[in-house]
Amino acid sequence: MNINYIDEDREYFQSEITSKNDWTPIYTKLSSKKSSKKKKKHSTHKKTDDFFQSYSYRILRYPILGFILLWCSFLVIVYFFIRLYIALYEYFFTWTGQRRRLRLALRKSKDYAEWVSNAIKLDKFLKLDKWKTHPNFYYYDYKTLKITVKKLKALRTENSKEELALFLQGCIKANFAGTENPILYSQTYYGTKEIVEEYNTEVVKALEYIIEDDQISPLLKKDLFKSLNKNFGKTALCLSGGACFAYNHFGVIKALLESDLLPKIVSGTSGGGIVAALATTRTNEELEEVLVPELAQKITACNEPFSVYVKRWWKTGARFDAVDWARKAAWMTRGSMTFKEAYERTGKILNISTVPADPHSPVILCNHITSPNCVIWSAVLASSAVPGILNPVVLMMKDPKTKKVVPFSFGTKYKDGSLRTDIPVEALNTYFNVKFSVVSQVNPHISLFFFAPKGSVGRPVSRKKTGLRGGFIGAGLENFIKLENKKWLKFIKSLDLLPHLMDQDWSNVWLQRFSGTVTLWPKIKLKDFYFILSDPTEERLAEMIRNGELSTYPKLHFIKHRLNIERTIEKGLKKYKKQVRQLQKSQLGQEDAAKVEKLFSSESDIDDAGNTHGNYDLHSGINGLNYQVRFEQDEDDDEGSYNEEEDPDYVEEDEEEDEEDEDGEFDTDASQNKDDSFEGLRNRRKSTFW
């Protein structure tokens, strides 16, 4: 893919053209930058809020803020001494002898199968496997679960299909009887209570039994699976920001992909946005070839010399240039592909969180529903626009008719979504009925404070007597200090004591939600902070991918239980939607059937091969990104992609159900696109891909 851009008129556009959004009254005079600068000199910048004009606020604001920051800093120092004590105690007194050797073997596992084998050995040595056989446990309703499993078996063996269908509606719900409580999977290195394992197996068997049955009418089955789909919800993978630490997400995606557990709904913020874009604009077959250490050759966002950074920051207030980043991000996002095109090509749902530059506007979650024609690379840039690193940018959209890229959303500028919503769990639930979230968290200011006193999924507590990591006193002090700091941060936010540096309220950086149902914490070492804003080498990227895989292995069993049920429900819903559609068409005449087919068909902005249209003129308004770019795609781009006619499970959505079922019900098994292939990449002399 050749990328040529023209920036001769860039300075002219930046200095001469001024625009306002569509809501500005007509005949309003537009002032140039020169005149606006003069006005700024004479403006007094008076605030209209009486609260901020009070003498007490002006006098006491900074002394109170200084005292709180000193107190919080002292608490942070104490906190790290407590963490150091707990780590040293565990190293010298807890993890010794055979126990240490088994844990070391677990951490050095080459793949998931080897990891499972080592985890089972460690469970047996620590006698944690006995816990699985006893159903009693405080954190779930084992009595209800026993009755449910017994009833499911009985109805299936008695061939009571109607009763089984009704019973499934009652027992297939998100976190039914506490079966999705993470603490159930936090008591051993692998597995959970046997009754929970049995419940998941029986539910899948019962669903398969209903799917294969031919006595219940297809219409009733369609309604059944639609109801189950709503009650059980969807699973989403959420990738956090974290600058170059976000490349650990590649390992997370690779581990999920190899186990066939990669959710169709993926969200990303800041650095996680570029990884999410790579994962959702490519089929699973293409991803398997892309997720290799040689991918580092395509990551060149930070390859400029230090002298260039300093000059740019002094002139523009940002270290990086949006034009340069747009060119470099184009490969990750397959050119100017839009959210709608990515969804139709792969069946995956990409979500990128962005924040308007206006501090009072709500957060925007870009996806194929909220912004179908928005160009993905512009959303990735906006989500990465941290103040001081990259200036706020304008989202871009592809005109459905002309295929030209133009400013989107009245030219409003957007910036890093991590500043207010790093993990958009609530928005995902609103749009896609997401009730189970897998979060990969690598934000450095959050990862440093991660501590699971009661253990985490696949990582049980070593002290079984107290049930708390670090003992009661250590765990209590650790929790107290974090809650104390959080209290003072909320106090600072409520009184607006923190100065708005670079026109940004920084108080939300620590006060938002950073975890999900399952949270992965790729290990970050102190030496990694030196490379936080630098491109990875192949060796470092291989280490990051490995790091992401190891953090994912302990969670795969939990995720598998969830997705087994979810995908079986989707399978039944697809099958009987298709049957009901065929029955409806068979009852109509040929003319009416043609009208129905036309009504249910959807126009696409991509061609039959699933590729975006060849040439685009990109007229960008991204913070001075006034340039023209022409993307010329390779001739080989039209080799097989998602084709609904080749997919036996594909069923077009009913128009009346589109709002309820916009959840990516696609099967991409027929996708064989190899245009991003890394074949020959390992043999550099033969590789012509680059």
Q: Give how far the C-alpha of residue 395 lies from the chain's centroid of Cα atoms, to the nearest Å.
A: 19
Task: Decide if 365 contacts 352 (C-beta within 8 A).
Answer: yes
What are the structural domains of the chain?
234-443+517-559 (3.40.1090.10), 583-607 (no CATH)
Q: What is the pLDDT of residue 101?
A: 95
Q: How confident is the model at residue 290, as a pLDDT?
A: 94
Q: Looking at residue 658, what is its pLDDT?
A: 43
Three-state DSSP at 501 gives helix
Q: What is the pLDDT of residues 227-254, one digit of tens each?
A: 999 999 999 999 998 889 999 999 999 9
Tokens read off for 446 = 């959050």
Q: Which residues pair with 632 in a beta bridge?
A: 2
Distance between CA atoms of 468 and 186, rounded to whole angstroms? Answer: 12
pLDDT at 641 (0 to 100): 43
Coil, strand, or helix at residue 290? Answer: helix
564 Cβ partners below 8 Å, 6+ apart? 200, 204
Q: What is the pLDDT of residue 53?
A: 65
CB 451 within 8 A of CB 83: yes
Look at the chain and count its residues. Answer: 690
Burial of 252 (0-12, 13-18, 19+ CB in 10 A): buried
For residues 488 and 485, what is the distance between their CA atoms, to the nearest angstrom? 5
Torsions phi, psi for 650 (to 5 deg): -75, 135
Number of H helices, E strands in the chain: 24, 12
Report whether 613 contacts 645 (CB < 8 A). Answer: no
CA 64 to chain centre: 38
Continuous segment of H or E residues that includes residue 382: helix 376-383
Q: Are 293 and 539 in contact (CB under 8 A)?
A: yes
Of the residues 123, 321, 416, 535, only one is catalytic, namely: 416
Structure tokens that stand for 372 in this block: 């179908």
Amino acid at 57: Y
- Whether 608 is a known active-site residue: answer no
Instruction: Give pLDDT, residue 49.
Output: 54
Closest by Cα among 177, 383, 371 to 268: 383
Residue 142, Cβ neighbours under 10 Å: how many? 20
Cβ pair 416, 490 in contact under 8 A: no
pLDDT of residue 673: 40
Q: Catalytic: which of 186, 240, 267, 270? A: 270
* End-to-end CA, the chain: 9
What is the pLDDT, as a whole number, of residue 164?
92
Q: How far apart are CA 364 and CA 361, in angstroms?
A: 9
Contact predicate 421/269, CB 8 Å: yes
Known active-site residue 56: no
Query: Which positions of the chain have pLDDT values less than 50?
Result: 1-48, 601-690
405: left (phi over 0), alpha (psi -120 to 50) or beta: beta
* Under 8 Å between Cβ of 566 and 265: no
